[in-house]
Chain A
């Protein structure tokens, strides 16, 4: 009896080991590697014919409106940014920003909200964004734009935004954070309420 039990135990052990090894093989050969995300498409300023003025632009997804950025080096250590919106469904508006940092602002590929009512620009890279109304109006008397980084850090201290990617719908900006230990999560910023919505769905790839 003991011999039979020993045989059965041994056989079962081998079968279990074989099943685990085969399972590992199946997982290794079938689970695809994570999608490597391409760098965000940023409209890189191109030197125009006029010296010291650089321009970049981004059309809306429906092709109806355009956002144009002109950067002028004031030669006094400051840079003057002029953002112009143009389009058939939009009055031509201009937004002006002055900064002491070169190339701090850029226009992302996904700048325009799907309904062309808002756009965002990158500030200091793809990990922060300023959101504007496309008609040039401020969000409130004291708020010309929404600084996503400020809104997020006011609610989540010591958590850094990794990337602002685009619009999930006409009022929701998608962004991702990554902790120092590599833990990732995705959020929406609702415009204009400035609500931060943590997501169970991951929008990082």
Chain B
């Protein structure tokens, strides 16, 4: 029979392992883009710059800020009024955007491969027509100007267009939610940033999305 002191010591050890282990697994890095997140997250248009991704050159799209934002018109249809909500389903790599009870946008995305896309419930805190994102190191280094239609929702984790790859429906990012430029533009024109004390459009990142009231999150960060 084990002695009482042995049992107590074993229980203490198990508790320490569980607490330390959970703390390790729930760690979230400070930011998605490890270099650019240390700078101001501001609008930047650099039409004469080239990007780098996977050690290869990436040609960014030319961006003209003089071309104004389009009116809210999703898929050529007028949208019924209602609360807006964006859901990201990491299991199917799909974005679902709802206005009221109506789904107004569904698009394939690419979430984190080289960095985690944290699950949780957030709000868009800033919208940027274009910015630079950079991070990683070695073969994983990337530096991408003119990233279009950026909507940051948690620190520098954001929804944005990706011009450097076309592998949507599969993980391909450093933590952000990549979309085709056409889809990102539609979402950007429809979603709201914060305004007059009102929060931006809610964004829920789900391990799996079953419906607007059923977003499964195993280890949400908030």
Contacts and interface: CB of A to CB of B under 8 A. Distances in A.
Contacts of B11: 18
Contacts of A38: 91-94, 108, 169
Interface stretch (B35-43, B150-158, B160-168): B160-168
A83 B1 CA distance: 78
B61 interface: yes
B17 A40 contact: no
B54 A169 contact: yes
Contacts of A40: 169
Given A166-B170, A168-B54, A169-B56, A62 B163 contact: yes
B210 interface: no
Interface stretch (B2-10, B66-74, B124-132, B191-199): B2-10
Contact of A11 (B5, B17, B25, B54): B5
A60 to B, nearest CB: 8
A166 B166 contact: yes
Contacts of B7: 14
Contacts of A130: none
B166 A113 contact: yes
B211 interface: no
A17 B2 CA distance: 13
Contact of B169 (A22, A109, A167, A201): A109
- Scoring B7, B13, B164, B170 by chain A CB atoms within 10 A of each residue's CB, the highest score goes to B170
B77 to A, nearest CB: 17
A23 interface: yes
A169 B166 CA distance: 7
Interface string A152-176: 0000000000000111111110100
Contacts of A172: 54, 56
Given A19-B17, A22-B14, A59-B182, A11 B168 contact: no
Given A166-B166, A203-B170, 7 more contacts: A22-B17, A26-B17, A40-B169, A109-B108, A169-B164, A170-B58, A171-B56
Interface of B: 2-3, 5-7, 9-11, 13-15, 17-18, 21-22, 25-26, 53-54, 56, 58-59, 61, 90-94, 108, 113, 162-172, 180-182, 185, 207, 218-219
